[in-house]
Amino acid sequence: MQRTTVTCANTTCLNESHTRSPFMLLSVTHKDSIEEGLKEYTEESHLDTSYTCDKCKLNTFAKVKHAFIKMPKVFVLHIKRFNQIQ
């Protein structure tokens, strides 16, 4: 089970939306170790697209953070070998 927390970037709101979802596949960026890839995956990052907050109803940017609540018995770990060119 994975928990995703999305935080509104509006400084007067800062509302958090929590979603729990089961997973069996996880894609992580290639690093020196699997632990580093998983650490990067669970670090807080900014959403690439605008986000409409449920509380303040503003179309704004947001921060997202993933956390593992319960690991499945079996899951596939996909390691991304190539970086996306921006």
Q: Is pTM beyond 0.85 here?
A: no
- What are the DSSP E strand ranges found in the chain? 2-8, 16-21, 25-29, 45-46, 51-52, 59-60, 62-68, 76-80
Segments forming the whole domain that contains residue 35: 2-79
22-77 pLDDT tens trace: 999 998 988 888 899 899 999 999 988 888 999 999 898 899 999 999 999 998 99
Q: What domain count does the chain have?
A: 1
Q: Is residue 7 part of a domain?
A: yes
- The pLDDT of residue 85: 62
Instruction: Give the confidence band of 5 by pLDDT, cuts at 50, 70, 90.
Output: very high
Q: Is the predicted pLDDT of residue 86 greater than 90, yes or no? A: no
Q: Is residue 86 part of a domain?
A: no
Higher-scoring residue by pLDDT: 84, 20: 20
